[in-house]
């Protein structure tokens, strides 16, 4: 159980600045996901929390105590990595016992046996306990890695892309298991990923990182429906949110590409102001008499639905439609949008103009 605070953390690696003034509060017992592309600073943030990196400026506060100078062992955190890093010569049991047998711990043999069997049950690896690690599948190995982290009952779990090396079906299964584990343990989880599906489906809160800066922190729903800027808007959802440049005229959005006029619920920006309109693919509506016209550039059949890429005078607009829709490449097509779902961004700064009004 622990609350983690980062205050104005800056971390440099030689000439490169990996983190730029990151301020962040992770509540006790929260499942917090750090989402970002390679190089955004998410792993560095995790390592700063773990005590594996010393920040150049700023403070790490754990449960109200300044932990900036503490080493990793003093922080009582457990780290799970993408690579399993298990001891191949040991059995599963041997790997799970290992953290409890360290000289700094004083566990009796009975206590160790009890903890190992409890963890094995939680992760459903009891039948594997006496197997050598090298004979396990990828998913089983990752479960053992997680088991080795939880057996110590640390205050905080830090996970760095633990599911990335697994195949898709196994990832689906372990996502659910990790959430359940979090629920059962009640511990603070910090989970790093570049995969927006993992972030949306697992996090109580998501922190979106871009180039060393924390752009937005919010619940999955807030991040999805009320993104602070175009970067956050496009970092969740597949396909990403459409961004279409245009201007506001009366209660309409007039799009630069093709000059089509689409309805707006209430105009957020001033008359005549250039705006970057944001609309998610599931909120684009295909209708015979819809105001915007284009040509089908691509159709992706995903079985449960189809994703259309519509070429509107050189700009591509993505739309999610029913799998039953009969549509072919190069077909002419008319489309509109759900006016209540349209977001307006500043074309220069990318800022969400709708958030300024309450």
Partner 1 sequence: MAQIEMRNVQKFFGPNQVLKDLNLTISNGEFVVMLGQSGGGKTTALRAIAGLETVSSGKILIDDVEVQGRKAADRDIAFVFQSFSLYPHMTVRENIAFPLRAVRMDAADRDRAIKEVAETLQIAQHLDRKPSALSGGDMQRVAIGRALVRHPQALLMDEPLGVLDAKLREQMRAEIKRLHIARGSTSVYVTHDQIEAMSLADRIVILHDGVLQQVGAPDEVYQHPTNLFVAKFVGSPVMNIAKVQIKGTEVMLPGTDGGFHFGEDLLAGMRHTGAAVSLGIRPEAVLLAHEKTDGFAPAVTTNIEPLGSHDIVDVRLGETILRARTQSGFVTGEGQSVWVSLDPARAHFFDNQTELNLRGAA
Report the residue number, 134 or 298, with the smaller CB distance to partner 1.
Answer: 298
The region of 5-13, 127-135, 151-159, 193-201 touching partner 1 under the rule CB under 8 A is 193-201
Q: Cβ 273 to partner 1, closest distance in Å?
A: 28
The region of 47-55, 125-133, 177-185, 243-251 touching partner 1 under the rule CB under 8 A is 177-185
Cβ neighbours for 15, distance < 8 A, ≥ 6 positions apart: none
Helix-then-strand count for the chain, H and E: 9, 20
Q: x/- string (CB under 8 A) for partner 1, residues 128-167? A: ---------------------------------------x
Report the residue number, 21 or 339, with the smaller CB distance to partner 1.
Answer: 339
DSSP 338: -
Handedness of CA 202, 207, 209, 212 (dihedral sign): negative
Burial class (CB in 10 A: 0-12, 13-18, 19+), 193: buried
The distance of Cα 343 from the centroid of its chain, to the nearest Å, equals 21
What gap in Å lies between CA 162 and CA 77, rounded to an integer? 16
Report the residue number, 69 or 325, with the smaller CB distance to partner 1.
Answer: 325
* Phi, psi dihedral angles at 278 (to 5 degrees): -115, 125
89 binds partner 1 (CB under 8 A): no
297 binds partner 1 (CB under 8 A): yes
CA distances from 6 to 25, 57, 177 (A): 6, 11, 28
List the one residue from 20, 131, 152, 179 that touches partner 1 (CB under 8 A): 179
HSE of 89, CA atoms in CB hemisphere, 13 A = 0
Site for partner 1 in 90-119 (CB under 8 A): none
Q: x/- string (CB under 8 A) for partner 1, residues 299-338? A: -xxxxx--x-x----------x--x-----x---------
* Phi, psi dihedral angles at 262 (to 5 degrees): -120, 145
Report the residue number, 68 or 196, with the smaller CB distance to partner 1.
Answer: 196
Helix or strand run (H / E) with residue 137:
none
168 binds partner 1 (CB under 8 A): yes
Report the residue number, 228 or 236, with the smaller CB distance to partner 1.
Answer: 236
What gap in Å lies between CA 200 and CA 237, rounded to an integer? 9
Structure tokens given for 191? 């989970």
Q: Cβ 307 to partner 1, closest distance in Å?
A: 8
Report the residue number, 108 or 301, with the smaller CB distance to partner 1.
Answer: 301
172 binds partner 1 (CB under 8 A): yes
Residues that bind partner 1 (CB under 8 A): 37-38, 167-169, 172, 175-176, 179-180, 183, 197, 200-202, 220-221, 224-225, 236-237, 239-240, 280-282, 297-298, 300-304, 307, 309, 320, 323, 329
């Amino acid at each position: 159980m622990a609350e983690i605070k980062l205050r104005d953390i800056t971390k440099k690696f030689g000439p490169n600045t990996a983190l730029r003034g990151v301020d962040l509060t992770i509540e006790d017992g929260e499942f917090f996901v750090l989402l970002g592309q390679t190089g955004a600073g998410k792993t560095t943030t995790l390592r700063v929390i773990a005590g594996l990196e010393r920040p150049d400026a700023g403070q790490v506060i754990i449960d109200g105590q300044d932990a900036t100078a503490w080493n990793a062992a003093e922080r009582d955190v457990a780290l799970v990595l993408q690579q399993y890093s298990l001891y191949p010569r040991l059995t599963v049991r041997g790997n799970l016992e290992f953290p409890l047998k360290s000289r700094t711990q004083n566990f009796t043999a009975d206590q160790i046996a009890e903890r190992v069997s409890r963890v094995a049950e939680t992760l459903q690896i009891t039948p594997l306990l006496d197997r050598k690690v090298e004979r396990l599948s990828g998913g089983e190995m990752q479960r053992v890695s997680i088991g080795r982290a939880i057996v110590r009952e640390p205050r905080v779990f830090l996970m760095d892309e633990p599911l990335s090396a697994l195949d898709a079906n196994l990832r689906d299964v372990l996502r659910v298991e990790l959430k359940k584990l979090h629920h059962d343990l009640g511990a603070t989880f910090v989970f790093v990923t570049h995969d927006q599906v993992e972030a949306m489906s697992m996090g109580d809160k998501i922190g979106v990182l871009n180039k060393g800066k924390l752009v937005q922190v919010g619940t999955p729903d807030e991040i999805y429906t009320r993104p602070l800027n175009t970067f956050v808007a496009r970092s969740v959802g597949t396909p990403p949110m459409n961004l279409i440049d245009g201007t506001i005229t009366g209660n309409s959005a007039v799009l630069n590409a093709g000059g089509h006029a689409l309805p707006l619920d209430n105009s957020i920006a001033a008359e005549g102001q250039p705006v970057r309109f944001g609309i998610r693919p599931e909120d684009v509506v295909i209708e015979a008499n819809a105001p915007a016209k284009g040509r089908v550039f691509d159709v992706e059949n995903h079985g449960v639905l189809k994703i259309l890429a519509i070429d509107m005078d050189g700009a591509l607009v993505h739309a999610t439609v029913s799998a039953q829709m009969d549509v072919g490449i190069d077909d002419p097509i008319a489309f509109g949008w759900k006016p209540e779902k349209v977001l307006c961004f500043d074309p220069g700064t990318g800022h969400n103009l709708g958030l300024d009004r309450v």
